[in-house]
Amino acid sequence: MKPFGYLRPASVTEAVRAGASHPGARFLGGGTNLVDLMKLGVETPGLLIDVTRLPLDRTEPTADGGLRVGATVRNSDLAAHPLVRERYPVLTQALLAGASGQLRNTATTGGNLLQRTRCPYFQDVSKPCNKRVPGTGCPAREGAHRDLAVLGHSENCVATHPSDLSAALAALDATVELHGPEGERTVPVTAFHRLPEENPDQDTVIRPGELITAVTLPPAPDGSAQLYRKVRDRASYAFALVSLAAVLTVRDGRVQHAALAFGGLAHRPWRATAAEAVLRDAPATPETYARAAAAELAAARPLRDNAFKVDLARRLTVDVLTELT
């Protein structure tokens, strides 16, 4: 592993200043992704700025009935928080569907959102990869892509974003709070992760030196039922082939509110806006749910070996919505 410096800043301001003055620096959360990538030679930061001692470890209700989650809140703590379990069960379910107990005890909210793709070529420095080294090519497109994207991919990259938490946050209309050298800003989770387009090396819209300080959830829609379901090769300790975070409100047999976000299908959590448009004010029936899934998945462009994901996503959508009705 390449030698690196280590800094434990006392404040957010000091952390951001250090990030801005060391272009090769990386913020260190639980390290469960970053340190693995350093061992593989994929990440070679000159400086690690450990943010886990900053006062960003609180989960607090907001004045409007929502919730503000600090960036260093551990995944286990967030999953177990009484207000999350009560108002945002889809979040608890998504977190508990990810990784292992030990990893969740260490992994942070901010680090989870910024975890890198699990594309095997990205993790192997002996192979070309546009995401790791721009302009070198995308061997996954013709190679091992069974687990990779069917929606929103480009000629340059067909990777998927691996976070379960991100899909739940996208369905809940959460926002990311950022603190950077140029000040503070907020970005909706649905606009935080990017599609690969011409520059797959950029996973998100985060700017150099910006620190995630919190994630804010609006109040959960009144009377909503919520579910996160993840389909994977093993029953645990595996990334999603397809997952779905769903928030559904049904009144008098009709869909009043629906928010759906897929994981495992694209370079970002995929908010299913075409499906939501079909669901709005429609009868809450399996037929409607099948039409909604078809509307969303009409945009799918499967590769040679991953067309099965489109069918999985279709059946998952109908099953999850039927269960929530």
Ligand X SMILES: Cc1cc2nc3c(=O)[nH]c(=O)nc-3n(C[C@H](O)[C@H](O)[C@H](O)COP(=O)(O)OP(=O)(O)OC[C@H]3O[C@@H](n4cnc5c(N)ncnc54)[C@H](O)[C@@H]3O)c2cc1C
Positions touching ligand SF4 (CB under 6 A) are 117, 119, 121-122, 129-131, 138-140, 148, 157-159, 200
Does 115 interact with ligand X (rule: CB under 6 A)?
yes
Antiparallel, parallel or unpaired: β 242-251 and 254-263: antiparallel
CB of 159 to ligand SF4, least distance (A): 4
CB of 211 to ligand SF4, least distance (A): 25
Alpha carbons within 13 A on the beta-carbon side of 140: 29
- Of the pair 148, 245, the CB lying nearest ligand SF4 is at 148
209 binds, among ligand SF4, ligand X, none (CB under 5 to 8 A by kind): none
Helix-then-strand count for the chain, H and E = 12, 12
Distance CA(47)–CA(35), nearest Å, equals 12
> Binding string to ligand X for residues 31 to 60, with x set by CB under 6 A, is what?
xxxx-x--------------x---------
Tell which one of 84, 129, 140, 211 touches ligand X (CB under 6 A): 211
Does 26 interact with ligand X (rule: CB under 6 A)?
yes
| Listed residue (201, 219, 209) closest to 185, CA to CA | 209
Decide if 317 contacts 243 (C-beta within 8 A): no
The window from 2-10, 30-38, 82-90, 282-290 that contacts ligand X (CB under 6 A) reads 30-38
Distance CA(286)–CA(199), nearest Å, equals 39
CB of 114 to ligand X, least distance (A): 3
33 binds, among ligand SF4, ligand X, none (CB under 5 to 8 A by kind): ligand X
State which of positions 214-253 bind ligand X (CB under 6 A).
239
The size of the chain, in residues, is 325
258 binds, among ligand SF4, ligand X, none (CB under 5 to 8 A by kind): none
Does 270 interact with ligand X (rule: CB under 6 A)?
no
Phi, psi of 278 (to 5 degrees): -70, -40
Does 16 interact with ligand X (rule: CB under 6 A)?
no
CB of 306 to ligand SF4, least distance (A): 12
CB of 161 to ligand X, least distance (A): 9
Two tokens at 225? Answer: 């039922």
Q: Which amino acid is at 109?
A: T
| Listed residue (18, 53, 48) closest to 33, CA to CA | 48
- Residue 188: CB atoms within 10 Å: 13
Does 71 interact with ligand X (rule: CB under 6 A)?
yes
Beta bridge partners of 193: 204
119 binds, among ligand X, ligand SF4, none (CB under 5 to 8 A by kind): ligand SF4
From residue 205, give the alpha-carbon distance in Å to each of 176, 179, 302. 11, 13, 26
Phi, psi of 7 (to 5 degrees): -130, 135
Binding residues for ligand X, rule: CB under 6 A, are 26-34, 36, 51, 71, 98-99, 103, 106-108, 110-112, 114-115, 162-165, 211-212, 239
